[in-house]
Structure 1
Amino acid sequence: MDLNILDFAVRGSTLGTILILTVLIWLSRIAREAQFAWTLLAIASTAKSWSHLVENAGASADIVWVLKIIGTLGALGITWFALTIFLDEKRYRWLWLGSAALINMALLSVPLWPQITPFLRGYAVLHFLALLTLILYSARGDLQDARRRLRPLMSAFLLVYSMVQAITATPLKGFQSTNVALAQSTVFWFFLTTFAIWALKANLSNWPGETVPDATDKPTPQERSTEQTALVRRILEAMDEGVWQVEGLTVGSLAQKVGAPEHQVRKAINRGLGHRNFASFINRARIDAAIKRLQAPEASEETILQIAFDVGFSSLGPFNRAFRETTGQSPTDFRKQALTQM
C-alpha cells in the first residue's frame, strides 16, 4: 500500500475522532476552561498534522505557513488540557502555561535565530518531564477511578509524543520522510482513540470541574449500595472523631482507620460524598473547624498560626490558601468581620 494513502487515512481518522470528541466535550457539563483547552489542542494538532499533507499536495506556501504556525500552539494546548484534567488545584497553573507559551514563542523565533534550536529542545524536554512528574505525583489524592486509570495513558502520551517532537521535529518545517510522518500520525491516532474510548465510558460531567460538586450532583442514598452507605457512615464517624486533625493524613491511613480497602474508600468519598480530591475533602473539615474558632469570641486571642496548626495544617501558607478558596477571605479579615457582627 502507498504510504501516502495510508498516512492520509490515519490523519483522516484522527480528524474524525477529534471532531467527535470536541462536539461531546462542548455538549457536556465540564468546566468551560477544559472546553477551551481541548479546542486549542484540537486546532493545533489538526493544523500541524495536515500541514504536511497540504504541503505535499502543492498547496500555497501561505496556507502551509499558517497551518504550521497554528501547529506550534500544541505545547500550550497539551499542557493546558493536561492541567485541567488532572489538577483540581489551580495554584501555579499560570506558571505552567507561561512555560508552554515560551516554547511556542521560541518555535516561532527559530527561523530568525536557528542557533536557539538545541536550547529549545532541551527546555521542551524539561517542561514535559516536569509535567509528567506532576501528573504522576498528583495521583496520590485523586479520588476518581476513571481519571486515575487515564493517568498512565496520558503520561505515556506526553512522554512518547511530546518529547519525540521536542527532540526530533524541526520547528516550522515539514517531515522529510513519509515514514516519520506516518509513525507520528499513528502514535497520535492510537492515543487519541484510546482517550476517546475512555471519555465515552467515563461520565464527562465529572471531569474536569469544581473540586466539590453541588449537592445536586451527588448520588441519592437510594443510588448507593448498602455496603457503600455503611462505609460512608464509617468515614463520617471517623471525621467526627477528628481524624482530619492528623497531619499528613492519606487515603491509605484513613482506610486503615475505617477498616476498608483503599480503593473502596476512594470511591465512597468520591461518589458518596461528592469530592474529587482527597486533600479538598480533608481541608474542608479543617477549614470548617477553623471558621468556628475564628468566630468564637473566647478564641480571639489565639493567633492565626496557632489555629492553623491546631486544625491540622503544617504551615500558614497552605492554610491561608485553603481558607481563601473556601470563604473568599483571608483568616484575618474573616475574623474581624465575624467578631464585629456579634
Structure 2
Amino acid sequence: MSIEIFDGIFRYGAMTLLLLICVFLLRSHRSIWPGRLGASAALCTAAYLGCTVAEQDWVILLLLPACIANSVFVWMFGLSLLKERFRPGWPHWGLMVLILTTGLWRKFFADADQMIPVVLEWAHQFIIMGMALHLLWVAWSGRANDLIEARRRFRLYFIAFTPVTMIAIAVIDLWLTPDVAPYFLMALQSFSIWVFAMVILLQAVQLVPEVLFFPAVVLEKNLPNVVSAVDQIAARDLATLNAWIEARDGFFETGLTIRNLGDTIGIPEHRLRRLINSEIGFRNFNDFLNHHRIEEAQKRLLDPTLARLPILTIAMDLGYGSIGPFNRAFLERAGQTPSRFRLQMPPGSS
C-alpha cells in the first residue's frame, strides 16, 4: 500500500468519524459545555484535515477560520473534560480571537517578503504548544482529586496522547508546509487524528458513560447525611465519613488530600473515592471539600460576632492557602463574592 493511499484512508476516515462525533454531541449533549465544545472541536478538526489537502482556493477560504480555531476548541474541550463546572470565560475567547487574528493576518494580509509572517507563524504555533502543555498540567495535577476511577484512567490516556499530538502537529506546521512536508508525516498526522477521533467516539457512545459529557451533581446541603443501605461495609464507611464531617475535625486543614483523609478516618483510599462519588454524589474531591467549606464560610460571614474578622482570615481558617481560590470557590457556590454576601448581615449587627 502506498503512503498516499494510507494517508487518504485515515484522513477521510478521521473526517467521517469527527463529523459523526459532531452530530452525536449536538443531538445528545448540546445542553452542556463538554458537548458543545466537543462538537466544535470535532467539526474544526475535520476542517483542518480537509484544509491541509484542499487545492481549490474557495474550499480553503471556506474551511480556513475553522481550521485556525481548531486548536483552541480542542484545548477548551479538554478543559471541560478535566475540570469540574468548566465554563469558557473571557481569557478563553480572547485567546480564540488572538489565534484567529494571527492566523488570518499571516494568510491574507502579511507580505511574504517581510519578517511579519514568520514572526506570526512562530507566535501562532508556540501559543498552540502552550495550550497543549497547559492541558498536560491540568490532566496531571487533577488526577489525585478525581473520584471517578474510569475518568482517572482516561486522564492517563489523555496525557499520553492529546497534548503530545497537538505539539507534534504544531511542530510539523511550523517547520514544514504541506507543499514540502514528507508525505509520511502527513500520513502520520492523519493516523494520529483518526486514533483520537476513534477514542472520543467510543467514549461518546457511552462505553464509559461517566467519563464524558455528564454534568457534575448539584447537591442539597443535607445530602451528605443520607445513609446508604447498599451493604454493611458501605454503610459503616458512610457513617464514619458523616461523623468526621459533623465533627469538622481536620476538615479545614490546608492541603488536605483524599489519601490523608483516608488515613485519618481509617478508610482505604479506593473505598473512600467510591464512597464520596457513588454514595454522596461528588465527582471531584476538591468539589467535595469546597461544598462544606463554603457552607461554613457563609455561616461565619453572617455571624455578627465575626463581623470585624477579615475575609482573608476566614479563608485561611477554612483551609484555603490564599484569598484567590477562596473567592473563586465562593463565587461558584454562592453566585456572589464573599464581601457582597457579607452585606446581607442585618444592619447594626456589627
Is TM > 0.5 for Structure 1 vs Structure 2? yes
Q: Residues 293-308 of structure 1 correspond to what in structure 2 (within 5 A)?
A: 293-308=300-315
The residue that corresponds to 1:228 in the other structure is 234
Deviation at 1:101, TM superposition (A): 4.2
Amino acid at match of 2:118: Q
Q: Residues 214-225 of structure 1 correspond to what in structure 2 (within 5 A)?
A: 214=219, 224-225=230-231
1:161 pairs with one of 159, 165, 173: 165
**1:76·1:104 contact (CA, 8 Å) conserved in 2?**
no
**1:8·1:53 contact (CA, 8 Å) conserved in 2?**
no
Deviates more, 1:220-229 or 1:195-204: 220-229
The residue that corresponds to 1:49 in the other structure is 49
Q: Residues 26-105 of structure 1 correspond to what in structure 2 (within 5 A)?
A: 26-29=26-29, 32-55=32-55, 60-88=56-84, 90=86, 94-99=90-95, 101-105=97-101
Amino acid at match of 1:5: I
2:195 pairs with one of 190, 194, 200: 190
Q: Aligned with 1:249: secondary structure?
A: coil
- CA-to-partner distance for each residue in 1:43-66, whole Å, 9 max, x for gaps? 1111111234443xxxx3211332
**2:19·2:43 contact (CA, 8 Å) conserved in 1?**
no
Deviation at 1:259, TM superposition (A): 1.7
Q: Aligned with 1:169: secondary structure?
A: helix
Q: Which runs of 5+ in 2 are unaligned?
A: 111-115
Amino acid at match of 1:67: L
- CA-to-partner distance for each residue in 1:284-309, whole Å, 9 max, x for gaps? 21121222223333333433333333
- Kindly indicate whether residue 347 of structure 2 is the aligned counterpart of residue 329 of structure 1: no
Amino acid at match of 1:38: G
Amino acid at match of 2:140: L
- Kindly indicate whether residue 135 of structure 2 is the aligned counterpart of residue 108 of structure 1: no
Change in 2 beyond 3 A, CA 1:201/1:234 = farther
Q: Residues 120-269 of structure 1 correspond to what in structure 2 (within 5 A)?
A: 120-169=124-173, 174=178, 176=180, 177-199=182-204, 200-203=206-209, 207=213, 209-210=215-216, 212-214=217-219, 224-242=230-248, 243-269=250-276
Q: What is the CA–CA distance in structure 2 between the aligned matches of 1:153 and 1:108, rounded to whole Å? A: 33
Q: What is the CA–CA distance in structure 2 between the aligned matches of 1:333 and 1:283, rounded to whole Å? A: 19
- CA-to-partner distance for each residue in 1:95-114, whole Å, 9 max, x for gaps? 35533543343232333232
Q: What is the CA–CA distance in structure 2 between the aligned matches of 1:175 and 1:336, rounded to whole Å? A: 64
- CA-to-partner distance for each residue in 1:266-317, whole Å, 9 max, x for gaps? 2211121111221121122112122222333333343333333333333333
Deviation at 1:189, TM superposition (A): 1.0
Amino acid at match of 1:192: A
The residue that corresponds to 1:278 in the other structure is 285
Change in 2 beyond 3 A, CA 1:332/1:340 = same
Q: What is the CA–CA distance in structure 2 between the aligned matches of 1:206 and 1:274, rounded to whole Å? A: 16
Amino acid at match of 1:188: I
Q: What is the CA–CA distance in structure 1 between the aligned matches of 2:176 and 2:62, rounded to whole Å? A: 10
Deviates more, 1:295-304 or 1:266-275: 295-304
Change in 2 beyond 3 A, CA 1:175/1:238 = farther
- CA-to-partner distance for each residue in 1:11-40, whole Å, 9 max, x for gaps? 333233223333433344575322221122
Q: What is the CA–CA distance in structure 2 between the aligned matches of 1:321 and 1:153, rounded to whole Å? A: 29
Amino acid at match of 1:80: M
Q: Please, what TM-score do these two structures have when normalized by structure 2?
A: 0.83
Q: Which runs of 5+ in 1 are unaligned?
A: none
2:122 pairs with one of 118, 121, 126: 118
